[in-house]
Chain A
Amino acid sequence: MNRSKRWWWQVIIVIGLLTVMGILINNLAVNLIRTGLGLSFDWLWRPAGFALSEHPLPYQSSDSTAWALLMGWLNSLRVIFAGIVLATLLGVSTGAARRSLNPLLRQIAALYVGFIRQIPLLLQLLFWYFVAFLGLPSEPFAPLGAVIHLSNQGISLLGVTLSVEFAAVLLGLSVFTGASIAEVVRGGLDSVPRGQWEAFRSLGMTEGLGLRRIVLPQALPAILPALSSQYLNLAKNSTLAIAVGYADLYAVSDTTITQTGRAIEGFLLLLLSFLLLNLLINGGMQLLNRAVLRSQHHH
């Protein structure tokens, strides 16, 4: 295609986009006029009027709707960041296990990745909730001594108590995303030349030391961009928490929308919150990326 043709295409695409946006904005305006309400956020300061099963800060149903939404946001943040940490641990160890010298370890890792990636996340969340956690006895039992207490009322890990809902969402998201991260890590490890593995092995280093000090640092530039998109996926997928009744941002927004009828404002806030969340994750990853690049270029 020559340059002037391409230029024309761009004009046509821009006009098309503007038309679509115009129609959407028009619809929005028409809807707002028809409901006779106009865009308003007063309802945010009225009492929420519903209880939340889980809230990281003090909350009761007479608190404002905005406060309830904040609780939802914090609940989302909590499960997303815990999920990112857990999924990373799982993914990095599984990815490394796939390149381990131990054939059994390699096979278990491959099985985990292959199996988990076949099954829709929603099913996995429901499994963790209904089968793994609600299936627990109501009397707490401690399979690992004082480290963890399990019951269908909640999980107590080193004295921190987690709700069954939180635990199900956390595990579901982490196990699911961990399998994808494992693939990202494996690809990263494979991008490091064979000679580097042979060199550290020849020096008598263990596989673990070689991975940490030689291979992973060189694999990071290949891993990090793909890793941040996995983190964003995890954040987006966290909205499935509603399926097991975890009071995340999406679930709380959903409730307020039903209660106030403020669907448009509710969704706008939801969109903004997720935009903010993505910016947070992206920003964090970019800082990390830059730190890694810097540490590799000067030293």
Chain B
Amino acid sequence: MSIAIHAQSISKSYSDDHRALDEVNLSVNLGEVLVVMGPSGSGKSTLIRTFNGLESIDEGRLEVVGIQLDSNQDERQIKRIRRRVGMVFQQFNLFPHLSILDNITLAPIRVKKMQKKDAELRAMSLLSQMGIADQAMKRPAQLSGGQQQRVAIARALAMDPEVMLFDEPTSALDPERVKEVLDAMRTLASAGMTMVVVTHELGFAREVADRVLFMDAGKVVELSDAKTFFSHAKEERSRRFLNQMTN
């Protein structure tokens, strides 16, 4: 299997008169970093949230890590996908009542039935990778935004996912905290993780993305390799967006 995610003409509406996703086709290869860009409301979040079943689709077919999904939300299939696909949110969504360590170990222990000791060792090693091993016993509220987001990445990685989804992971951060999170994502990408990243960080996208998906009004406008997209994007709509972003 060399394809991690395959979307075949998927559509989704929240209301009758407007499609949040409109016949989206795309594939994400294993080991690839796909960056998703587009104006606000273009359907970027909706798209990556369909990949782990947080949003249902109305039409089309979706295959994620070899598991099929369609419009009848099969909870069993979704759960199987979620065990193998990690997600990182804009607002971190750490569990505020649990320690950093418990945030990371809860799912491996309860979902993957890992031994507590092993889960804790793994969590500590992930926290070290993220450069925040000294925060393990604190509560999320005691950490900076950048640290919290790195915990969120560690939490997702603790399940040993095959694919990682990121929905604007740096948008809620103070500018001086953005780099530490992007660096962690860079490391992950160079280790070969399959990643789908919704972001407006052009520097990161240029450097790390293999391909860029540009969306507007629920439609795929352009899906190009990163070099092409940033040097001479095929679509006028993409070029205009890039111009706005750089000015």
Contact = CB atoms under 8 A, between A and B. Distances in A.
Interface of A: 101, 193, 195-196, 198-206, 209, 213-214, 217-218, 296, 299
B79 interface: yes
B100 to A, nearest CB: 11
A217 B52 contact: no
A198 B54 CA distance: 7
Contacts of B82: 201-204
A100 B26 CA distance: 32
Nearest to B99: A299
A202 B111 contact: no
The 7 closest A-B pairs by CB, nearest first: A199-B93, A203-B107, A204-B83, A195-B93, A204-B82, A202-B87, A204-B111
Contact of A203 (B91, B99, B139, B155): B155
Interface in B76-91: 79, 82-83, 85-87, 89, 91
Contact of A218 (B83, B96, B106, B107): B96
Given A206-B79, A213-B106, A218-B96, A201 B91 contact: no
Interface residues of B, number: 27
Interface in B96-112: 96-99, 106-107, 110-111
Contact of B89 (A195, A204, A217, A296): A195
Nearest to B94: A199
25 contacts: A101-B75, A193-B93, A196-B95, A198-B54, A198-B87, A198-B93, A199-B89, A199-B94, A200-B107, A202-B54, A202-B86, A202-B156, A203-B82, A203-B106, A203-B111, A204-B79, A204-B82, A204-B83, A204-B159, A205-B107, A205-B110, A209-B111, A213-B106, A218-B96, A296-B97
Nearest to A214: B95
B135 to A, nearest CB: 14
Contact of B93 (A196, A205, A213, A217): A196
Contacts of B94: 199
Contacts of B99: 299
Contacts of B87: 198, 202
A101 B73 CA distance: 10
A221 B125 CA distance: 34
Secondary structure dominating the interface of B: loop
Contacts of B95: 196, 199-200, 214
B162 to A, nearest CB: 13
Max count, chain A CB within 10 A of own CB: residue among B54, B94, B110, B139: B110
A37 B115 CA distance: 75
Interface string B49-84: 000111000000000000000000001000100110
Interface in B130-189: 139, 155-156, 159
Given A101-B75, A198-B54, A213-B106, A203 B93 contact: no
A196 B155 CA distance: 14
A204 B97 contact: no
Nearest to A217: B97
A291 to B, nearest CB: 14
Contacts of A296: 97
A24 to B, nearest CB: 49
A204 B75 contact: no
Contacts of A206: 79
Nearest to B84: A204
Most chain B beta-carbon neighbours within 10 Å: one of A204, A213, A218: A204
Nearest to A202: B87
Contacts of A218: 96-97
A205 B155 CA distance: 13
Contacts of B91: 195
